Amino acid sequence: MAAKALYLLQILSVVIGMPEVETVSVNTNIGIINGLEEDVTFLGKSSKIHKFLGIPFAEPPIGKLRFQNPVPKSPLEEPLDAFKHNNVCLQMLGLLDSKRLTYDEDCLYLNIYAPERKPEDKLLPVMVWIYGGGFTIGFPDMYIGDHLATQGNVIVVTTNYRLSVWGFLTTGDKIAPGNYGLWDQHMAIKWVHDNIAAFGGDTEKVTIFGESAGSSSVMYQALYPGNKGLFHRVIGQSGSVGNFWVTNEKNSENAKHLGALAECETENSEALVSCLQEVSADLLVEFVTNATYGLISYPFPFLPTVDGKFVTTDPKHIFDKSDLPTEVKEIFSSLDIISGVNSGEGSIGLSPFAGVADAAEFSPNKTYFEETLVPLMIKICLGENVPRIATDAVVGEYTNWDNPDDYNNIRDEYVSMWGDVSFNTDLYKTLDKHSNVSTSQHTYMYVFDINPEFNGFLYPVPRFKKLRHAYDLPFVFGFKKPDQLEEKFHVSPSRWEERLSADIMTLWTNFAKTGNPNSPEDLGLDWVPYTQKQQHFLQISRDMTSSNVKQRWNARRANFWINLLPKIITSAVCEAEKCSDHLNRGTCAKDQKCSPSP
């Protein structure tokens, strides 16, 4: 009753100077925030939503706060009119560049989409969205929460965080340990925990969810003990912490490279950071955007790193270990998790960084696949000094032996290879670890497997019909178009795509409410939890029934990357370094200097 009375006092509707536009005022722990009340219609259902846009959750990370952890926002001195989206974080410009966007270092803002509710209604579950973009591009305002919030009757929060050099520059020591973008996410989640009740949100039912780098981000947050009690469930779409593109072992080298470009001292970390804090934002944007400066690579040059505080274990191997660190295991095991991928994730390999200059004309022959494309993939994903036998093993695994010379078969296998190495393998590692340690047994896997009809989203790839990387996003957000990128995103779904979107929003919000995607609104799917032994997953398709719950998707190739290929590489390294037979048991002969791992 106290919470209901408080909500009654906090929500006040007043008419502002424009007809049919109303505001709602909320009294939070930092002060009064004014938002807009608007009508929302999806699949013929009309609702009202309260939108609070551009709320600052941290002090502007500028000047001496550049390359530092975020500082909590001071209390508001006067009511805040949260009527429009705020600045986009500085980043590598290109795909998301638009004249309707304002880029600035002062960018630590979040948005809240809250369905209209009566004071006597129960508090609503909360879903906090963290966007993707390789930790290098992106912003929250392209994900409009209107449809998801009203369709699922949940509060949706979208948040910004620093990207690229501003979010992840590190000198490899305490002067600039890195991961400021992850700390930004953590502070936004903490802000939600401290203030969301004023908007009608239930602090005991908070789910964080994200896609691509956002999916990796929510997994990073799920492994950080400092988040204990701040959220309870996680949905990861196409990404985890072990993916090769999530970390860059040359982070500190890239910081020195940047310093040299800016004519800074590079051998003294304190001098380097102090100098880079004085470099103009425009010049930093130029350095990370213009390829001639040598700071455009894949993986991207500024990414999360082991900093000893937020990330204490090498993320590439954290799920390989027999057990997690005690505090990490405590939080990770307490969470409910959904994680999955799209059937066409490997389309990211149809890009220039992977050796494909023109996706429309890409028809590789067998020789080019074996001698150029696979070695390049090995170099990008596994590193420089990988034995040749690894290339041979990958070629053998990704050859269609029914017709190995067919161009279409080679192209399809190439795409499958990129999907497996980039996303699918670490999906299994994450799910296996969570299902083994989970205290709730709420671990769920999905594969989004459709041939979409809508077009105009991102860049089309001719002849590629499967659901590409990031093409699940319109479904999760109900095909709500961001006004700022209207000229770039013309998404026109068919009727069945809209209905499928409604089902996905139901599954996601069911999970946010109960930890079980099957309840409270039953779609008749009986989505079975994932276990390492049974490996159940939901195949998300056009017309879903209980027969869409299947087992062991792509399991052979997951095993190839997780178990077989590492053993092949280790054996090759052993042979090259003349290791003793003891190596197979994890030891080396005393008179040999060999390593049991590549």
Residues 368-415 have pLDDT tens digits of 999 999 999 999 999 888 999 999 999 999 999 999 999 999 999 999
pLDDT digit string (tens) for 20-33?
569 999 999 999 99
Neighbouring residues of 8: CB distance < 8 A, sequence distance ≥ 6: 119
Instruction: Give the pLDDT band (50/70/90) at residue 97.
Output: low
Within a domain: 182: yes
What is the mean pLDDT of the segment spanning 340-365? 91
For residue 197, give its domain range.
41-344+426-551
In this structure, the answer to whether residues 410 and 293 fall within a common structural domain is no
277 in a structural domain: yes
Q: Can you say whether the dihedral through the CA atoms of 540, 543, 546, 550 is positive or negative?
A: negative
| Whether 480 and 545 share a structural domain | yes
C-alpha angle with apex 369: 367 to 372, nearest 5 degrees?
90
Residues 250 and 393 in one domain: no
Distance (Å, whole) CA 201 – CA 119: 12
Q: What residues act catalytically?
A: 212, 345
Residues 239 and 151 in one domain: yes
Does residue 403 contact residue 409 with C-beta atoms inside 8 Å? yes
CATH of the domain at 168: 3.40.50.1820
Q: What is the DSSP string of 49-95?
A: EEEEEEEE-B----GGGTTS---BPPPPSS-EE-BS--PBPP---ST
Confidence of residue 117 (pLDDT cuts 50, 70, 90): confident
Is 404:366 a contact under the CB 8 Å cutoff?
yes
Q: How many angstroms separate the CA atoms of 345 and 177, rounded?
A: 32
Same domain, 514 and 401: no
What distances in angstroms separate CA 271 from CA 166, 216, 263, 277, one per listed residue?
A: 17, 32, 11, 10
- Looking at the structure, do residues 166 and 146 belong to the same domain, yes or no? yes
pLDDT tens track for 493-506? 899 999 999 999 99
Q: Are residues 168 and 201 in the same domain?
A: yes
Please indicate, yes or no, whether residues 159 and 282 belong to a single structural domain of this protein.
Answer: yes
* Per-residue pLDDT tens digits for 528-566: 999 999 999 999 999 999 999 999 999 999 999 999 999
Answer yes or no: do 466 and 361 share one domain.
Answer: no
> What number of other Cβ atoms are within 10 A of residue 49's Cβ?
21
Judge residue 314's burial from the number of C-beta atoms within 10 Å of its C-beta, 0-12 exposed, 13-18 middle, 19 or more buried: middle
Q: Which pTM was predicted?
A: 0.92
Q: Rounded to the nearest 5°, which phi and psi values hold at 359?
A: -65, -35
Do residue 54 and residue 81 come from a single domain?
yes
384 and 450 together in one domain: no
Integer CA distances (angstroms), 480 to 37, 85, 471, in order: 17, 15, 14
Tokens of 239: 């990404």
Is residue 310 within 8 Å of residue 221, measured between CB atoms?
no
- 239 and 364 share a domain? no
Distance from the Cα of residue 139 to its chain's centroid: 12
Q: What pairs with residue 537 in β-bridges?
A: 550
Number of domains in the chain: 2
